[in-house]
C-alpha cells in the first residue's frame, strides 16, 4: 500500500465516535446553517488562540477577504505581502482593486523578510504616487509563524495594519503566543489538508476589536444589519456550515496531541536527511505545526523521481512565485525581482507529513531519498 501524503483516515478512526455523536445531534436539531455548533466552535477557537473574538467563515480565502472589506481596501491602496505563497493571499487584494506590493522572503524560514519589508515600505513612503500604503499580510508558511515583533515595529512606525495569514499555521506558536493572535487580525483555513481541517471548506478570523467583529459578522451574511432584510453594507455569503463546525470540534479534542506528533515526525526527518538535503529551519522561540515538511534539493526532479519509483508521493509548493503568475501580469513583475523566492521555488518539494506517519514509513522515505 502506498504511503499517504496526508492520512485523514487514521485520524478519523480515532475521533469517529465523537464525529458520529456530533453529527447525530446536528441531524436531530436540523440547523444546518449557523447552528449551535458554529457558536460553540467560535468560542472554542477564540479561547484556544487567546483573543476576544472569532468569526468562522466559508473558506480561508474569505477569512482574508472579509477583514480587508472592513478596512475599506480599494483602488489606489497598497498592501504588502510575500510572493512565495498560495495565490489567495494576493488574490483578495486584487479582488478589491487594490495593489499588492511583493516583498522577498527570508531564505531560511521562507516567510517574509522584515528587513526587505522595511526597505519596501520606505520606498513607497518616499513615493506617494505609487499608492497609499494600508497594511501588511505576512504569511505563516508551511506551519511556522512570521517574525511578528519585527513586522509590527515596521507597521507601527508607518501606521499600517497587520493581518496574519495563518492558513497553514493554526496552532503554531511564536514566543509563547498562538498564531492568529498577532497584528490587528488573523485569518486561517480549515481546508481538509490543513493541520486542523474540516471535511470541506472552512475558515476563521480572529481579532480583539469589537467594531471589527461587528462588521465581520455583518459582512459574513450579505452585509446584514439588525434586521435581516436591511443590509447596511455590501457583504458576501461567507458562512461556514454547521456540519463543518461539528467536525472541527471533534478534531479539536486531539489537536494539541497531533501537533506534538507532527513535531516528532519532523524531527525524525531532519535528523535523517540533513546530511544530503537542506531541511527546514524553525526560528528560535517558534513551534511549527508542520502543515508541510519541505526540503531543498539541487536536483529536485531526480529526488522526486526516487520517491516516485518507490511509490512514495511528494508535492511542490509553490513552483511559480506570485509575481511571475499570469494573473498578476499588470503589476509588472519579472524574473529576478525576488531572487530568494525564485531560487527556493526551483528547489523545494514536500514529503508526506501527518501525525500518524510511522517510523517504518519514514525509513522507507528516507532510504529512497538517500540512494
How far is the CA of 88 from the CAs of 62, 100, 188, 250, 340, in angstroms?
9, 12, 12, 27, 21
Residue 229: what pLDDT? 86
Q: How far is Cα 176 from Cα 151, in angstroms, rounded to an integer? A: 17
User: What single DSSP character describes residue 327?
Assistant: G
Phi, psi of 112 (to 5 degrees): -55, 135
User: What single DSSP character describes residue 317?
Assistant: S
Answer for the pair 55, 62: CB distance below 8 angstroms, yes or no. Answer: no
pLDDT (tens, 9 = 90+) of the chain, 371 residues, equals: 689 999 999 999 999 999 999 999 999 999 999 999 999 999 999 999 999 999 999 999 999 999 999 999 999 999 999 999 999 999 999 999 999 999 999 999 999 999 999 999 999 999 999 999 999 999 999 999 999 999 999 999 999 999 999 999 999 999 999 999 999 999 999 999 999 999 999 999 999 999 999 999 999 999 999 888 899 999 999 999 999 999 999 999 999 999 999 999 999 999 999 999 999 999 999 999 999 999 999 999 999 999 999 999 999 999 999 999 999 999 999 999 999 999 999 999 999 999 999 999 999 999 999 99
Residue 1: what pLDDT? 60
Report the predicted TM-score, pTM, of the whole model to 2 decimal places: 0.96
CA angle 166, 172, 177 (to 5 degrees): 100
Contacts by 216-221, CB closer than 8 A, 24 or more apart: 216/53, 216/55, 216/66, 216/67, 216/70, 217/55, 219/66, 219/69, 219/70, 220/55, 220/57, 220/66
Residues 6+ apart with CB under 8 A from 226: none
Cβ count within 10 A of residue 49: 23
Strands 203-207 and 99-102: unpaired
Q: How far is Cα 136 from Cα 119, in angstroms, rounded to an integer? A: 13
Domains of the chain: 8-252 (3.40.640.10), 255-369 (3.90.1150.10)
Q: How far is Cα 87 from Cα 74, in angstroms, rounded to an integer? A: 18
| Torsion angle of the four alpha carbons 111, 116, 121, 127, in this order, in degrees rounded to the nearest 10 | -140
CA-based nearest residue to 93, from 103, 106, 105, 81: 81
Dihedral angle sign, alpha carbons of residues 199, 223, 77, 116: negative
CA end-to-end distance (rounded Å), the chain = 21
**Residue recorded with cell 499600517:** 160
Buried-exposed string 228-244: b where 16+ CB fall within 10 A, e elsewhere: eeeeeeebbebbbbbbb
Amino acid at each position: 500500500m502506498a504511503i499517504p501524503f496526508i492520512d485523514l483516515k487514521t485520524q478519523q478512526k480515532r475521533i469517529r465516535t465523537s464525529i458520529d455523536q456530533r453529527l447525530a445531534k446536528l441531524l436531530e436539531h436540523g440547523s444546518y446553517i449557523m447552528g449551535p455548533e458554529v457558536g460553540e466552535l467560535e468560542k472554542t477557537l477564540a479561547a484556544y488562540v487567546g483573543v476576544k473574538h472569532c468569526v468562522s467563515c466559508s473558506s480561508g480565502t474569505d477569512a482574508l477577504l472579509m477583514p480587508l472589506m472592513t478596512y475599506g481596501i480599494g483602488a489606489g491602496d497598497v498592501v504588502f505581502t510575500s510572493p512565495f505563497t498560495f495565490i489567495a493571499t494576493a488574490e483578495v487584494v486584487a479582488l478589491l482593486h487594490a495593489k499588492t506590493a511583493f516583498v522577498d522572503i527570508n531564505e531560511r524560514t521562507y516567510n517574509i523578510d522584515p528587513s526587505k519589508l522595511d526597505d519596501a515600505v520606505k520606498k513607497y513612503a518616499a513615493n506617494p504616487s505609487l499608492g497609499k500604503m494600508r497594511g501588511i499580510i505576512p504569511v505563516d508558511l508551511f506551519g511556522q509563524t512570521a517574525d511578528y515583533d519585527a513586522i509590527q515595529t515596521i507597521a507601527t512606525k508607518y501606521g499600517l495594519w497587520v493581518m496574519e495569514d495563518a492558513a497553514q499555521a493554526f496552532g503554531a506558536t511564536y514566543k509563547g503566543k498562538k498564531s492568529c493572535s498577532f497584528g490587528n487580525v488573523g485569518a486561517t483555513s480549515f481546508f481538509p489538508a490543513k493541520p486542523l481541517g474540516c471535511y470541506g471548506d472552512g475558515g476563521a478570523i480572529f481579532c480583539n476589536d469589537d467594531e471589527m467583529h461587528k462588521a465581520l459578522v455583518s459582512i459574513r451574511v450579505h452585509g446584514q444589519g439588525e434586521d435581516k432584510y436591511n443590509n447596511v453594507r455590501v457583504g458576501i455569503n461567507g458562512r461556514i456550515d454547521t456540519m463543518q463546525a461539528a467536525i472541527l470540534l471533534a478534531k479539536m479534542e486531539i489537536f494539541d496531541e497531533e501537533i506534538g506528533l507532527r513535531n516528532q515526525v519532523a524531527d525524525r526527518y531532519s535528523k535523517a536527511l540533513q546530511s544530503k538535503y537542506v531541511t527546514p529551519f524553525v526560528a528560535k522561540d517558534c513551534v511549527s505545526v508542520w502543515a508541510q515538511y519541505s526540503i531543498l534539493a539541487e536536483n529536485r526532479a531526480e529526488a522526486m523521481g526516487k520517491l516516485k519509483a518507490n511509490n512514495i508521493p511528494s508535492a511542490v509548493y509553490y513552483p511559480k512565485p506570485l509575481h511571475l503568475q499570469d494573473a498578476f501580469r499588470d503589476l509588472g513583475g519579472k524574473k529576478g525581482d525576488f531572487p530568494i523566492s525564485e531560487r527556493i521555488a526551483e528547489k523545494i518539494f514536500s514529503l508526506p507529513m501527518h501525525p500518524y506517519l510511522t517510523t517504518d514509513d519514514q525509513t522507507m522515505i528516507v532510504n529512497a531519498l538517500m540512494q
